[in-house]
Amino acid sequence: MANDSLAPLRLLGERLRTLRARRGASLSEIAAATGISASTLSRLESGQRKPSLELVLPLASEYGVSLDELMALPTARDPRITPVVSELNGQLVQALSRRSSPTQVRRTRIPGSATPPPRTPVSHPGFDWVYVLSGTLVLLLGETEWRLGPGQAAEFDTSTPHWFGPADHRAVDYLSLFTHAGERAHDHRGE
């Protein structure tokens, strides 16, 4: 099975031939313009010669295309994310962004419980944004308690001591967005 990462190399000859044909140029004319022999160009176009940067860079320049365009490198990765649900401190957490994303997005479900969780405020660098999907979320921000219902959101500086959890014995689902600065705190404390 061929390695898909080599596909651009296998198709390069075809692209070179197409670019030359669009220009209406002969192998000799391209050879004169780039300093690459006509026989080498012919072997590149037929796939009998492996390309190197020494050959590809002058050709990209001559045809007025970027190296990415000439090599037909993918311009964007697959944008789809396959969220994985994990359990963290009794909460179900679903990452909705790639770990490499500058903003982390998570869906969290805090299951209902007859015993309310302890309110232990934390602080850390960054900002947090929460959006309640279902249930009622309590946001303790400093000494002030806020209640958020479905469709309500809050944004706050996480250097202020904060805690959030269910307002009662029922489950609460919410989305949260935060930067990498706050990611470690979320991962360890389950905020």
Task: Delineate the domains of the chain, giving CATH numbers in brackets.
Answer: 4-71 (1.10.260.40), 85-189 (2.60.120.10)
pLDDT in tens, 52-67: 889 999 998 998 888 8
- Give the tens place of pLDDT for each residue, 60-86: 899 888 887 787 765 566 788 888 899
pTM > 0.75: yes or no: no
Q: Distance between CA 186 and CA 88 in Å, rounded? A: 10
> By C-alpha distance, which of 88, 141, 128, 144 is closest to 111?
88
**For all residues of the chain together, what is the average pLDDT?**
86
Output the 3-class SS for the chain: CCCHHHHHHHHHHHHHHHHHHHHCCCHHHHHHHHCCCHHHHHHHHHCCCCCCHHHHHHHHHHHCCCHHHHHCCCCCCCCCCCCCEEEECCEEEEECCCCCCCEEEEEEEECCCCCCCCCCCECCCCEEEEEEEECCEEEEECCEEEEECCCCEEEEECCCCEEEEECCCCCEEEEEEEEHHHHHHHHHHCC
Least confident residue range of 47-61, 76-90, 131-145: 76-90
Lowest-confidence pick of 113-127, 137-151, 172-186:
172-186
The reported pLDDT for the residue numbered 53 is 87
Q: What is the predicted pLDDT for the residue at 82? A: 85
Strand partners, 178: 104, 128
In the structure, what pLDDT confidence band is assigned to residue 190 with cuts at 50, 70 and 90? very low
Q: What percentage of residues in the chain have a pLDDT greater than 90? A: 51
